[in-house]
Amino acid sequence: MIIALDAMGGDFAPTSAIEGGIMAARKFDDSTIVLIGESSVIESHLSSLEDRPKNIQIIHASEVIEMGEHPALALRQKPQSSIAIGFNMLAAGDINAFCSAGNTGAMLVGALLSVKAIKGVQRPAIAGYVPKPDGTAGIMLDAGANAELKAEHLVQFAELGYIYAQSVMEIPNPTVGLMNLGEEEGKGSAILQSVYQSLKTHPFINFIGNLEGRDVFTSKADVIITDGLVGNVILKLAESVYELLMTGNTPLDSFFTKLNYELHGGSPIVGINGNVVIGHGRSTPLAIKNMVAQCRRMIRADVNQKISKAIESMANPPQN
């Protein structure tokens, strides 16, 4: 499998991205790692290695989309940027996955403009990784791609999340919960109440009802459904807890160690015709390597094909 990595993406790019790419290439010798970026910089970094991995390729990109740039504008104005080139390669089928720790908005817009949403998927979502104290992990959709959602979008997130958890995370019949401000049916906004009713009678979702904030880090639900604001707040709050614990030199048990974003590397965009993972802006080489590992799991699971089939069969249910 061929996995392309934006060598220019992230706060510590290109060094951190290139070093993470090298770590990934060494670890996954059945894969080709394509580093997209300023070729002279990448080449000089690789040349300095005693043992240069053979499974690294370089694709030159003369432009860089910076972290603060307006996503759509930047993609239009910088067709030679590493992100624009990555998505062109993904859409052309030259690579099996593309990942970057760069501008999140540009990654989202780039995905929607190039490989596009899967037919029938109204709003692709970012899936955030949620570690659990029992050692398992779940995901949360949406972790920040969508600020404004209708009930039907949230219901579809449940479908996307269920299939993702089943195929990529290999959870046989994932439990799905709806984040709300109380457990009881009938709690929350009109939108959340409507989502609750749709999921309760859903043909395949294993819906367990409403969740509260205290349930995020429990084994109650494998898939947490929420809007982009709540999901984003939860992920960033959890990350800050990890950092506060580290700052305080608190000895961490195995659960709190897993709040370290470096260990899971990145968040996939779910619901598009391609494997795309967005990394944390502050990605270290370890985080970059794990972002590549995340791409590998998505490629292996063929998750987008599975989502496509599920959405299609829901739109055209089999006749008796």
Least Å from the CB of residue 12 to a copy of itself: 18
Residue 172 in contact with a copy of itself, rule: CB under 8 A: no
Rounded-to-integer distance, Cα 305 and Cα 92, Å: 17
Residues for the chain: how many in total?
320
Indicate the helix (H) or strand (E) that contains 97: strand 97-100
**Positive or negative torsion for Cα 189, 193, 198, 199:** positive
Q: Which residues pair with 178 in a beta bridge?
A: 210, 225
How far is CA 126 from each of CA 59, 176, 209, 258, rounded to the nearest angstrom? 27, 16, 22, 19
Q: Mask 67-86, x = binds a copy of itself (CB under 8 A)?
A: -x------------------
Q: Identify which of residues 240 and 313 has a Cβ nearer to a copy of itself in the complex.
A: 240
Work out whether 315 is an interface residue with a copy of itself (CB under 8 A).
Answer: no
> How many alpha carbons fall within 13 Å on the CB side of residue 131?
18
Residues 205-234 that bind a copy of itself (CB under 8 A): 212-218, 228-230, 232-234
Rule CB under 8 A: is residue 177 a binding residue for a copy of itself?
no
Indicate the residue among 79 and 182 with the shorter CB distance to a copy of itself: 182
Can you tell me which of 1, 113, 137, 252 binds a copy of itself, judged by CB under 8 A?
252
Q: According to the binding rule CB under 8 A, does residue 135 interact with a copy of itself?
A: no
Binding flag, residue 136, a copy of itself (CB under 8 A): no
| Cis peptide bond upstream of 142, omega within 30 | yes
251 binds a copy of itself (CB under 8 A): yes
Task: Give the binding-site size for a copy of itself (rule: CB under 8 A).
Answer: 46
Helix and strand element counts for the chain (H, E): 11, 11
Mark the segment that binds a copy of itself (CB under 8 A) among 52-60, 177-185, 281-289, 303-311.
Answer: 177-185
Closest CA to 163 of 220, 124, 201: 124
Q: How far apart are CA 108 and CA 245, in angstroms?
A: 31
Minimum CB separation of residue 148 from a copy of itself in Å reads: 5
Name the site residues for a copy of itself (rule: CB under 8 A). Answer: 68, 133, 144, 147-148, 179-182, 184, 187-190, 192, 212-218, 228-230, 232-241, 243-245, 247-248, 250-253, 255-256
